[in-house]
Structure 1
């Protein structure tokens, strides 16, 4: 643990994650409330926020991962955050002129840039963090980020309530700009040059073949697809669960986000301690089943304590699963393919979220809120049989 805290790359990436999480949560809450106010609480308009967030991820993650395997990861992250700051500043100027629909572009820009920077940070982890410390490192970064899932919605709600959407986006600009500056302290990265005949298309195809040739990666892709579709179907409807089932104000959504963040903090801490001993398959199966059950319980619940408890428990279960699975992926995937594997698996999950989010408002209007949540739970549960077919036992044995 002490050795990890002396690792410059880990400290910088963890710090940048915190800075970005702060800005993103301020953005998320501001845009949610702003769009609801501008459209009269239209569920289709709210679901479009999720669509605009995940559509670029679906489109750009495959090519972004491939390019991340070719480019210098340090400068990819720095330039990406700098471009995000500039782009959001332009969007802010458009909103100031009265074009409120430009808020959707703020979500799009962040999503596009992240598809180049996220695989780059994983590459830096692979190069500079010893493999035996990877589960601990990922668990700690997840736990630290969870702090902002707790306080981020509160801060975002407060800033929007006091100062409005413009100030919220100014904070996002500052966060991205500061993150770019911090990453200048990362060590230089030297990458082997690809063969002269190698092209982006060839490397993309090689990445697809690499994923297709590994059973675990194919199964993980299928699991992510179903979880994405199920969670996407209800993700934009969280605010309506709070207002219609619990009869609370939309601003109270922040407290449920905070409880989920607290659960993520606990789950991340447990993964940090027990990550090396965890059976990845067992963790994923248990988390998927629990997630499906929790979706039904939340939909049926009209009691705040029950919904609150489920949010906390789901946050912990999902965080534990993400950390164990992320650690396993970093362990079993060759460094040269990390970006492409990430860029292959994530588009499938994003496609599921995108399809689900695009349909969520329509389903809510046609079959109502609770049936939509039950349908989501059924879809998520279908991921459990796929997870059962995974074969790696423990993270320390994941290379076998």
Structure 2
């Protein structure tokens, strides 16, 4: 039995699937490279600039800007190109950019570290939709939610150990070794991906380049015609607005509401990361019993209540408990959204659907991250967190009409027409 056939057998064990093993190992290597990059570059820039806030903020710009610029473009081309080949080339190109940066740093051009982050973020906009496309090909629909849960658990693990790993590499060696680790991790990831099954040549791959704009427009129409995907767009935007507040104002919760020094924030982040690890593992069990729509609603209800309560709390223990509960349910939100996106998208449109939805979440989150500071100058912290909780709860109300929808079986069929099975 082939890998693909075995993967589509409902009773097959997910972790024994060669495709899933390969993608997991590749993702582990990428996570190592990404977290070493994140913290080595952060510490290096602060050392070079004397904690200049503008220089530090440019790191986030280099990381998030490609999501706005290249997400939908990357998704469109991911639908046209062969996914295995796309992923391998993206990892090799990320590695090449890292080694170019290493050479420039040796000649004292330290600003080049922004380039490594920027190029790596661009490549991920082409690579990630290709991964999702392969999931449609090689993972049975009944196993998609469990597969997403395992990936979320892996990400949670690196949220706990990643910062420490990055700090250790940078502090014990230097930026040159740190960048070398990044490059090696990307190269190894590319080599691991050669284990993937051969690509299936699609019709869109042979289409002329003149059809690219038409395919982009078709991607937007495809999402708009589906009530479920259209609803996910709204939910993504609302969740991004709410989560952006917590991302930005968590430090003020520590100092103003809890009366603790700013260093205490690391304990809140640690509690949140541990909870995400537990939640990622637990969602594998929960996902078998609850539809992704209801799973998403459950996660957002808990997120809304915890967000509002964190803003109200002045007790350290209570805040830590709320942070743990919030982190526990955050993977549920991520897994449910990823599962719904895959289940309601035809294989030929997965990249473009991902390209439409992802910027909605990140865009709204960044807008709120930029707005939270000015808003805080006119509103108390309690009101801001209460408002963020209300926004998240509105997302739950938006979800209610699609509770009755069931994923179309033919969404896994590459030749499925966009109009079919959307209503």
Per the shorter chain, which TM-score range? 0.7 to 0.9
1:256-295 to structure 2, matched below 5 A, reads 256-295=268-307
Matches within 5 A, 1:202-221: 202-221=214-233
Quote the offset at 1:5 in angstroms: 2.4
Partner SS, residue 191 of structure 1: coil
2: CA distance between counterparts of 1:395 and 1:154?
40
Larger Rg: 2
Equivalent of 1:175 in 180, 185, 198 = 185
Bigger RCO (CA 8 Å, 6+ sep): 1
C-alpha displacement of 1:239: 5.6
Mapped contact 1:246–1:303 kept (Cα < 8 A):
no
Q: Aligned pair in 2 of structure 1 residues 384, 274: CA closer, same or farther (>3 Å)?
A: closer
Q: Structure 1 residues 196 and 394 mapped into 2: Cα distance closer, same or farther (>3 Å)? A: closer
Partner of 1:139: 149
Q: CA deviation at 1:204?
A: 1.1
String of CA shifts for 1:331-388, please: whole Å, max 9, x gaps.
Answer: 2211111111111111222221232233345556776876665554454344233223
TM-score, with normalisation over the residues of structure 2? 0.83
Please show how residues 316-395 of structure 1 align to structure 2 within 5 Å.
316-360=328-372, 362-363=374-375, 373=385, 376-392=388-404
Q: Give, in whole Å, the separation in 1 of the partners of 2:32 and 2:47.
A: 23
Relative to structure 1, the CA distance from residue 159 to residue 95 in structure 2 (aligned partners, 3 Å threshold; closer, same or farther) is same
Cα displacement (A) at 1:214:
0.6
CA distance in 1, matches of 2:58, 2:47: 14
**Cα deviation, residue 177, structure 1:** 1.2
Please state how far the C-alpha of 1:240 moved relative to its aligned partner. Answer: 6.2
Structure 2: stretches of 5+ with no match in the other structure: 1-10, 412-420
Shifted more, 210-219 versus 317-326: the winner is 317-326
| More displaced 10-residue stretch of structure 1: 10-19 or 348-357 | 348-357
* Contact 1:242–1:249 (Cα < 8 Å) also in 2: yes
Tell me the SS of whatever aligns to 2:203. Answer: coil
- Using a 3 Å threshold, how does the CA distance of structure 1 residues 164 and 268 change in structure 2: closer, same or farther? same
Question: Could you tell me which residue of structure 1 aligns to residue 36 of structure 2?
Answer: 26
**What is the CA RMSD across the aligned residues, in angstroms?**
3.1
Alignment of 1:86-165 (within 5 A): 86-165=96-175
Question: Are the equivalent residues in 1 in contact too, given 2:233–2:357 (CA < 8 A)?
Answer: yes
Q: Which moved more, 1:380-389 or 1:20-29?
A: 380-389
| 1:314 pairs with 2:326 | yes
> How far off its partner does 1:173 sit?
1.5
Kindly state the Cα deviation for residue 216 of structure 1 after the two structures are TM-superposed: 1.0
**Could you tell me whether the CA contact under 8 Å between 1:280 and 1:328 is conserved in 2?**
yes
Tell me how far apart the structure 2 counterparts of residues 36 and 134 of structure 1 sit (CA, whole Å): 41
CA contact (8 A) 2:308 2:387 kept: no
Preserved CA contact (<8 Å) 1:264 1:316: yes
Inter-partner Cα distance in structure 2 for 1:82 and 1:297: 45
The C-alpha deviation readout for 1:288-318, integer Å capped at 9, x for no partner, is 2332333344445565544433333222211
Per-residue CA shift, 1:82-132, capped at 9, x if unaligned? 111111222334444444443333332222111111110111111111222
**Offset from partner CA, 1:238-269 (integer Å, 9 cap, x none):** 5665577564465x655544433322222222
Q: Report SS of the residue matched to 1:188.
A: coil
What is the TM-score when the length of structure 1 is the normalising length? Answer: 0.87
Q: Residues 318, 392 of structure 1: CA spacing in aligned structure 2 closer, same or farther, 3 A cutoff?
A: farther
